[in-house]
Amino acid sequence: MDGILALNPWWIGVLLNTVLGAIALLTQQKLLTLAGLFHAWLLGVLIWGTLGWQGYLIVMVYFLVGSAVTHIGMAEKEAAGIAEKRSGARGPENVWGSAFTGTVCALLILLFPQWRELFGVGFVASFSTKLSDTCASEVGKAYGQRTFLITTLKPVPRGTEGAVSLEGTLAGIVGATVMAVLGWSVGLMGAIAIPICLFAAFLANLVESVVGATLQDRHPWLSNEVANIINTTVGALVAMGLWQVALSLN
């Protein structure tokens, strides 16, 4: 059994996430719903099994920082009716809305190891994009002094779909930088991919803001979670495309 555990990352993923899940249940944590906890367990096993501790660290940092940012100014946001539902506790839809694209990239690395660098950039870019989006949205809702609709640049109330603010934009840049630098530091991508991820995150968040401003109210199926998948997918695809261009120029 010890030999299997030493060699098989899937067993390590199962044991680690089961222990963490048990601790979460015993401490009655408020960051995940019960269903969200199960789906986070599944996500953790998949990421550890495919990318080891490096990929797992990316997901954990996103989850912890994203959860902390979500709770900034929670009382004021709840009073204004613009807070995340369940006081920020994440359910299955939140888990996969944030991590679906990154999980696909991780599985593609498993299936096509010869393209590890390419999909590694996509993996990091997806979480760089998502943390940027979370920081921009939550800081903007809590501290945005002047909020504008992305399509018209007209002032709108904080929390409006498709709204942007200076404070939120700066927070988004910080969030994207944290994830991109972390992705480089653990060896999932080269240093040249750091500015690529920042640009991809910025562009993807603009796309999501436009989608939120123009389409989200018209289509009930276009939930925030679906918008998050679109957002992270755009970020990953843009980053992978720019990575390929950068390689061709070297």
- pLDDT tens for 39-91 read 999 999 999 999 999 999 999 999 999 989 988 888 777 776 766 676 667 89
Residue 205 lies in a domain: yes
Please say if the pLDDT value at position 6 is more than 60.
Answer: no
Residue 148 lies in a domain: yes
Residue 64 lies in a domain: yes
d(CA 194, CA 202): 13
pLDDT grade for 153, boundaries at 50, 70 and 90: confident
Domain assignment of residue 124, given as a range: 54-249
Q: Decide if 177 contacts 198 (C-beta within 8 A).
A: yes
Q: Decide if 212 contacts 227 (C-beta within 8 A).
A: yes
Number of helical H runs and strand E runs in the chain: 9, 2
d(CA 158, CA 142): 8
CA atoms within 13 A on the CB side of 246: 18
Residue pLDDT, tens place only, 10-47: 999 999 999 999 999 999 888 899 999 999 999 999 99
Q: Decide if 188 contacts 120 (C-beta within 8 A).
A: yes
Residue 35 lies in a domain: no
How many domains, the chain?
A: 1
159: burial class by Cβ within 10 Å (0-12, 13-18, 19+)? Answer: middle
Residue 210 lies in a domain: yes
Residue 46 lies in a domain: no
Residue 104 lies in a domain: yes
Residue 195 lies in a domain: yes
Calculate the CA 101 to chain-centre distance. Answer: 9
pLDDT grade for 1, boundaries at 50, 70 and 90: very low
Nearest by Cα to 100 from 75, 77, 130, 72: 130
